[in-house]
Structure 1
Amino acid sequence: MKKTLLFNLCSLALLALLAFNVTPAQARVWRIDNNTGAAADFAQGAAAIADSRVVNGDTLYFSGSTTVYSNLTVNKRLVIFGVGYYLDQNPNTQVAFSTAKVSSIDFRVGSAGSEMQGMEVTSSVNIYVSNISVRRNLGAYVYINAGTGYGATAEVNVSGIFVSQNWLSYFSTSVSGGTISNVFFTNNYVSGSGISTGTAGVTVAQNVINATGINTTSSYIYNNIMLNGGSVSGTGNSYNNNICNATQFATGNGNQQNVNMANVFVSTTTGSTDGRYMLKTGSPALGAGINGEDCGMFGGSDAYVLSGMPPIPSIWFFSQPSVVPASGALQVRLKASSHN
């Protein structure tokens, strides 16, 4: 009974807090929860998207769960919130540590203007339309695709994509008979295969790149920190105020070569998985950016947020007495934090 009460009270409190973040009248918040016995609007996001009551501008809030949610194909303009990740590693995250996990999410025609935050995606996020924001997520791959070669799934020309404050393994763009422009890849941690963009006009800034390498075309590469010997290649790019552990970035333009990463980060081996990449006192990345901002994912105006917490209040503390007093008044204590 205690666990059930905890779950229901947290859910109700969270929905009440979410109500203050919903824009005018028609927009609604729908709770998605596949936990057994949950009093949710839908058990799966796919069912919510298919429901005619869920319309452009609505919000889908996914509860944490030990069971993976079904894949999402988004064809409406929606806001998608999860609960964040690495929840047991950083302070003041969530009262429960299960993530909202899904294998893949596709943003297809009809979903332009959507955003997602706080989700764990184990396979890929596939973007086929303009004006998509992917922020504060844990994921394997993010692909941006444009052109007639993708049929009715995609727009021919895709632009206005923001991929920021995520923890990712790979990022790429692909064009088949169209164009991709105005793409911003900022304040992310990226590992694995790294970054590969065959299109012009991608901004790659304020990232920690712990990957095989980056390959870009006519793009703007600045204020990044690259470690573990990854390569830098491509044509027509500008490289400014980047820091690397070897000679990946050419000298000049504010770039720093052969930097000992033990002097850059708080730690690369201890602490929370993402928190260890905060800059330490005296780091050569402090104030080393183009305009005097810090380099790396915690620098600039859109700094990485620990655990990918979405910008809504989260309940991180809950307590209740084990026995209801004779008066029948049950006193419950909640603590919540905002993560703007």
Structure 2
Amino acid sequence: MDRRDLLRAAAALPLLRAALPENAFAQTYPVRNITMIVPFPAGGQADLAARPVAMALERILGRPVIVDNRAGGGGGSVGNAAAARAEPDGYTLLMTLSSLAVLPEADRLFDRPVAYEVSQFMPIARVLADPTLLAVPASAPWKTAQDFVEDARKRPGQITYGSSGPYGTLHVAMEMFANSAGIKLMHVPFRGAGPALTALLSGTVQAIAAAPGTLKPQVDDGKLRVLGNCGAQRIASFPDVPTFQELGYMDVEMYIWAGLFAQSSLPAPIATRLREAMAQVMTSPDVLKAFEASGSLVAYQDAPAFSQFVAADSTRLIAAVKKIGKVE
């Protein structure tokens, strides 16, 4: 076969693929490595969810699943956008957080180009769904959430808190609490929950709102104290920590869920294969053990239920962002 024949054959491949039924390719999926984008640095909730899931998916699918921490843009927008632009072939997945729906609204709020739209994604499975917790250094003077609020009222704008970036999950949770309590805090954004936690431990900031799995090792080591729970109910890993609703802040409810997504135009047979694999992943003893050790319990939802959950949660979070308005 000469060079012209090779070129003609190469040009015909896309036509051949289009002529074959989708399941002809799905039956062999995957045939190469899969990349799982995590739009945050290591150490945060999305990374905590991604690594045990990637290892289990690798065993089930028979191909390496490589976690790619692609932080940047504040709140995960760079990684989310990269996943949205990827080829919809099942080889680029996204493990992201509830800020997925918030960030496009923040772009519109500031009249910025929208990095991506939620409609570009197909929910595959929810993995975790933890309430955010307000944490401070164990050496801090605040023993309770009320201590924190009273001090903040005396010193508006002087207590600093870290976040994963403007309008990321941690930022929205803290601003939701601050608005309800009638206090003003100083926001210090970082590239992810991991760096924000490091800043809290080093004394660069004085508070953070983060997931139980991110905070528990530091609390167990006596380095941090948790003052409040943004969920509707207390949780097993921090049973003595009251919810903000118990404390009278009835409009404070925020969850830092992590879920696996693909592109919205992913062929249905490949989506089904991924859903079936995730159903096995979320009953894997290794995955359950990893999440339990971190203080985050599995909150698995298959695609239909997860899609409904994302729609409902996104509506609530977008309303919260509009109430918060423009902040840096």
Which TM bucket (shorter chain)? under 0.3
Structure scoring higher RCO (CA < 8 A, sep ≥ 6) equals: 2
With structure 2 as the length reference, what TM-score do the two structures score?
A: 0.26
Indicate the structure with greater helix content. 2
Indicate the structure with greater strand content. 1
